[in-house]
């Protein structure tokens, strides 16, 4: 994903923002093991359902998790495409970073 356009930059910022919280990182880590019900996540993270819902909404709006309803329960899973976008953004940043060392060396 080229980092040039404002739209790409805004999207990348939203993805990184979604991961810039310890609780959301713990949610992602837990979902790496597979689909989980919101009640399982609440117990695992020892947090209120309202706070967990806020974090899950942030991850969902960023495209990092998806949900499905089964009866009265909501189950969450990771959305691979969102993490592919993060990898692409990191690759683009890494590629840009290679030239930084040369530019800094020229300034000395």
| pLDDT tens digit sequence for 63-86 | 999 999 999 999 999 999 999 999
Q: How confident is the model at residue 104, as a pLDDT?
A: 54
Residue 55, token pair as written in the block: 């974090």
Residue with tokens 């709006």: 61
Per-residue pLDDT reduced to its tens digit, 20-33: 999 999 999 999 99
The pTM is what?
0.81
The order of strands in the sheet holding 73-78 is 36-37, 73-78, 65-70
pLDDT at 1: 43
Q: What percent of the chain has pLDDT over 70?
A: 83
pLDDT at 2 over 50: no
């Amino acid at each position: 994903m080229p980092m040039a356009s404002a739209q790409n930059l805004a999207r990348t910022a939203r993805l990184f923002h979604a991961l810039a919280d310890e609780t959301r990182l713990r949610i992602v880590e837990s979902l790496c093991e597979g689909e989980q019900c919101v009640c399982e996540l609440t117990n695992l993270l020892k947090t209120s359902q309202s706070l967990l819902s806020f974090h899950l909404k942030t991850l969902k709006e960023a495209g990092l998790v998806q949900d499905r309803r089964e009866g009265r329960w909501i189950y969450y899973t990771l959305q691979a495409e969102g993490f592919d976008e993060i990898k692409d953004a990191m690759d683009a940043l890494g590629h840009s970073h290679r030239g930084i060392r040369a530019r800094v060396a020229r300034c000395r």
